[in-house]
Amino acid sequence: MNDTPTISWQEASKTKTSVWHSENATPAPKKVQVADDTIKADAAYKLCCEGTALLWRGDFQNAKQLMQAISRRIDRPGKKPKKAPTNMTEAFHLHRQAQSQKARILGMLLLEVSVGYHINLRRAPDIKAACEHAYGKSTQSFVVSLREILGLIGAYEWSKNGVEISVINNKIHPSYGVFSPIRGEYLTLVDTAPLPTPCTTAFDIGTGTGVLAAILANRGVKTVIATDNAQRALDCAQKNINQLEMKNAVTVLNANLFPDESYGKADLIVCNPPWLPARPSSVLESAIYDENSQMLKGFLNGLKAHLNDAGEGWLILSDFAEHLGLRTRDELLAWISAADLKVIDKMDTKASHNKTLDASDPLHAARKAEVTSLWRLTKK
């Protein structure tokens, strides 16, 4: 954990200071006041909106209820009707702006965590295992948002229970900060697309949890090199590969996109980059947003040099960005062509997640139309 940022507040006529921790690199609030069960939701909401953080000294479960009450007030329709966005691109940016504002306000409810990851509040849960999963061993006390702690607890439960991956008849255990493969439609594409002939070596670029590498190994690819440059992803992928007893087939490697030349070329190179070309607001969003399509372009531009002559590149990509007006199909095809590649096939599947059914979602029209594709690419 980074021990440089600090946060200060007044309590019992004294100025107190602690380390400030935020996985999203949110700056420490400048204005902080102590709060407990006596504060009303309207008053708490007003303070949080104005930029005053509340360091909680009351009952932990009441803090959760207060955060829910503040969330309801944020979502409550305003007195002035909002102007409807004129297109999906504007709707997307307004939606992200609203999400960011909501996260900022909800992040104003704070907890003090002592050494050993203990919260000294009534009815506080045991968060030690969840914090060690995300942060590592405890070395100091710190102040953190309640929202982040609840996120840690949820992520730890996902990690413990795992995500059932039907195509390998086993579970993948996502770690905190690593994208979870809860949307299964693209996994089926990777499991059913015809493998190139021969296919003894494959690279999985940006492996995350290692799920695609595991699917390829399960399909009989003898050597799979799974790369990532995020330490949490590397640790998560290695843990999953170990649990799946695939160490003989899959090597997890720290690399920016492709392995170096010592690993040779591959018969198959797979990549599932972040699907939206927008700036991530935090490290945790980097699995969703690919600023200026850097990873997508990097994969395409490096593919030819790392493929065997008869090899294929598989690009897994949703067209959600196209429906949002963030990228056009012509742009994507131009990038493929400029990389001296050609499309030999495209396998499609409709999105099947719950958000496609939520008509109140401002991005519903784009989500409902979304198609996820596996683009089979070869050298020209």
Burial 101-113 (b: 16+ CB within 10 A, else e): eebebbbbbbbbb
Contact by Cβ (8 Å): 58, 36? yes
Looking up tokens 């799946």 gives 244
pLDDT, tens digit (0-9, with 9 covering 90-100), for 18-36: 999 999 889 999 999 999 9
Q: What is the DSSP string of 227-287?
A: EES-HHHHHHHHHHHHHTT-TTTEEEEE-SSS--GGG--EEEEEE---SB-S--SSGGGTT
Provide the pLDDT for residue 283: 74
Contact by Cβ (8 Å): 274, 231? no
pLDDT (average), residues 137-141: 94
- For the full predicted model, state whether its pTM sits above 0.85: yes
Provide the pLDDT for residue 351: 78
Q: Give the pLDDT band of residue 356 (cuts 50, 70, 90).
A: low
pLDDT, tens digit (0-9, with 9 covering 90-100), for 245-270: 999 999 999 999 999 999 999 999 99
Q: Give the pLDDT band of residue 133 (cuts 50, 70, 90).
A: very high
- The verdict on whether omega for the bond into residue 198 sits within 30 degrees of 0, i.e. cis, is yes
Provide the pLDDT for residue 182: 83
- Rg (the chain; Cα; Å): 23
CA dist 252 → 27, 213, 237, 241, 244 (Å): 34, 9, 7, 8, 13
Residue ranges covered by each domain of the chain:
6-157, 163-379
Write the CB contacts of 372 (distance below 8 Å, at least 6 apart in sequence). Answer: 185, 186, 189, 316, 317, 318, 319, 348, 349, 350, 351
- Domain 163-379: assigned CATH number: 3.40.50.150
CB atoms within 10 A of CB 191: 17
pLDDT, tens digit (0-9, with 9 covering 90-100), for 172-203: 999 999 998 888 889 999 999 999 999 999 99
Q: Could you tell me if residue 292 is left (phi over 0), alpha (psi between -120 and 50 degrees) or otherwise beta?
A: left
Tally the residues of the chain. Answer: 380
> What is the spatial distance between Cα 207 and Cα 246, in angstroms, rounded to a whole number?
15
What is the greatest pairwise CA distance in the chain? Answer: 75
Contact by Cβ (8 Å): 62, 37? yes
pLDDT, tens digit (0-9, with 9 covering 90-100), for 232-246: 999 999 999 999 999
Provide the pLDDT for residue 271: 98
